[in-house]
Every structure is written in structure tokens, then in C-alpha cells.
Amino acid sequence: MNEPELQALNGSISNDARVLYCLGIRPIADATTGITNELNYKQLTNLLNSTEEKYTRGRQINRLILELQNHGLVNFTSDIAEDKSFNKQKLLLPLMVLPEDDYHNLHHQKTGMNRDWKPNQSLYQDLAQLVGIIEKDYYKDEVGEFVAYWMGRPDSLFSQFQWTHKFVQHIKKNRLAIGYKPTQQLATQLVNKKAELISDDNTKKLVEKYSGKHQR
């Protein structure tokens, strides 16, 4: 467990979500890519019900996974509706593969949203690459919409890492909602890409960059 993961897990997160991440999800993730095997809800339920039967339905596990996503600990490798089961889905654990020396300080201080907020550019580029956003440029009104939404929730306090992670999710979700189809140029053709984690050369280079030098 690296420092960014510990910082996120020590935040305002439920103990069951911590247990799910540490004992149920992280052990089945590839140390190089941060991508898990397919989730097995039966195994995860048995883990969480070790002392008492608290979890009997898949949507209860869904809520814990969404809580982990909200704190920047997991992402989905493909697009899935929040009201559907996440069983058999794969997750990406971004804090496993991002360099903790570069982003360590972004976890230290939690703040509310303010009108001058902007995403950390380096982190935004890396997270966008990992979750499959090909065209990473964003517009001022996209930042403004994000800021306006969260300024209306003054009790929400997150680190700069978490705010930037939320912004990446905001960008991806909004573009898919309006029918945005990412394209990638192959030779002289523009090819539509499915809304999923895209393992292109840049992603592979990013993972290779961080898997050796920055692992403990």
C-alpha cells in the first residue's frame, strides 16, 4: 500500500469501503496496470460478512464501490450505469500506478470548492489517459459547470487529487451523455472508439514509466 492510497483511505470513508479496497479489490489488481480481475460479488460479500451478515444484495456492494470511486481509489474500465450490477466488471486502481512522489502533496490538504479552482494539469492528463479519454482538451464552461455544482455543496471537502479525479469523471460522463464519440487517428483514417479503457501506446508508456521507477 503506497502513501497516496493510505491518504485516501484515511479520509472520510467508511470502514467497510476500506476493507473492500484493502482485502477484496487491491489483491486482485495487477501491480503494473492497476486493473483488477473481474469482480466476484459472492467472494466480496463473504469477505464483508465475516462476522455478521450485513450485505445481502449487490447494490450494497455497488454503493461501497461508488464510495471508493468518489475518493479517487477506483475507476471503471468501461462505462456502466450506476443502477446496474458491477459484478464481473473490472476496475482500475489509479493510485497504484500513478507516481506517488509527483502527486504525494496533492493528498495532504482538503478544501472546499472555490470559483478559481482549476484541475492539476499534470494529474488531469495522466488520469484522463488512464480512463481512456483520447481528446483531453476541455473548455472553460466545463470547468465552470463543475465548479458551480460543487460550490453549491460547501460541506464537501476533498484533496486536490480527489477534485481533479472528480473533474476527469465529470468530463467523461458528460461527453458520453451528449453522444460524444472519441476518435483516434490510424494512418489516414479517423476511427470511432468504444467507450472503454483504451490501451494505446501512450497508456502503455505511462504504465511502464511508473511501474518500475516509482514502485516500492
Predicted confidence at residue 17, as pLDDT, reads: 95
Predicted confidence at residue 149, as pLDDT, reads: 94
Per-residue buried b or exposed e for 139-170, using 16+ beta carbons within 10 Å of the residue's own CB: eeeebeebbeebeeeeebebbbbbbbbbbbbb
**Where would I find the beta strands (DSSP E) of the chain?**
75-76, 91-92, 110-111, 158-159, 183-186, 189-192
Q: Is 92 helix (H, G, I), strand (E, B) or coil?
A: strand
Q: How far apart are CA 130 and CA 112, in angstroms?
A: 26
Q: How many domains does the chain have?
A: 1
Give residue for cell 476496475: 91
Q: Which residue has the higher pLDDT, 10 or 195?
A: 10
Residues 136 and 38 sit within 8 Å (Cβ to Cβ): no
Q: How far apart are CA 55 and CA 48, in angstroms?
A: 7
Instruction: Express each pLDDT in 13-70 by its tens digit.
Output: 999 999 999 999 999 999 888 999 999 999 999 999 988 889 998 899 999 999 999 8
Residues 85 and 58 sit within 8 Å (Cβ to Cβ): yes
Q: Which three cell numbers stand for residue 194?
A: 468504444
Instruction: Express each pLDDT in 75-103 by its tens digit.
Output: 888 777 777 889 999 999 988 887 766 67
CA distances from 179 to 143, 194, 195 (A): 19, 12, 11
Instruction: Express each pLDDT in 159-186 by its tens digit.
Output: 898 899 999 989 888 877 665 554 443 3
Instruction: Express each pLDDT in 114-158 by its tens digit.
Output: 999 999 998 898 888 887 787 888 888 999 999 999 999 989 888
Residue 76: what residue type? F
| C-alpha neighbours within 13 Å on the C-beta side of residue 180 | 13
Q: Which three cell numbers stand for residue 71?
A: 475518493
The domain in which residue 177 lies consists of 3-213
